[in-house]
Homo-oligomer: A and B are copies of this chain.
Amino acid sequence: MTGPRYTPLIDTLPSTVPFVGPETQERRMGHPFAARLGANENGFGPSPRAIAAMAAAAGEAWKYGDPENYELKAALAARHGCRPENIVVGEGIDGLLGYLCRLVIAPGDAVVTSEGGYPTFNFHVSGFGGVLHKVPYAGDAEDPEALLALAAQIVPKLIYIANPDNPMGSHHPGATIAAMVPRVPEGSLLIVDEAYVELAPEGTEAPIDADDPRVIRMRTFSKAHGLAGARVGYAIGAAPLIAAFDKIRNHFGMSRIGQAGALAALTDTTWLAYMRRLIGASRDRIGAIARENGLVPLPSATNFVAIDCGRDGAFARAVLAELTSAGIFVRMPGVAPLDRCIRVSCGPEAEVEAFAAALPGALSRARAAQ
Contacts and interface: CB of A to CB of B under 8 A. Distances in A.
A252 interface: yes
A4 B189 contact: yes
Interface of A: 1-10, 13-15, 17-21, 23-24, 27, 36, 39, 41-46, 50-51, 54-55, 57-68, 70, 91-92, 94-95, 98, 102-106, 109, 120, 127, 157-158, 186-189, 212-214, 222, 226-231, 238, 240-241, 243-244, 246-248, 250-258, 261
Given A7-B104, A9-B106, A244-B10, A227 B23 contact: no
Given A54-B61, A55-B58, A261-B61, A6 B244 contact: yes
B3 A228 contact: no
A257 B53 CA distance: 13
Contacts of A187: 2, 4-5
A242 to B, nearest CB: 11
Nearest to A129: B7
Q: Sorted from nearest, which 9 A-B pairs have the closest CB atoms?
A: A229-B256, A3-B213, A54-B58, A4-B189, A55-B55, A23-B66, A62-B226, A61-B229, A7-B106
A229 B214 contact: no
A257 B229 contact: yes
B68 A24 contact: yes
Given A3-B240, A59-B51, A68 B23 contact: yes
Given A3-B240, A51-B61, A54-B257, 18 more contacts: A1-B213, A2-B213, A4-B157, A4-B189, A6-B244, A7-B103, A10-B247, A13-B247, A18-B251, A21-B68, A23-B66, A39-B63, A51-B58, A62-B228, A64-B228, A64-B229, A92-B253, A94-B253
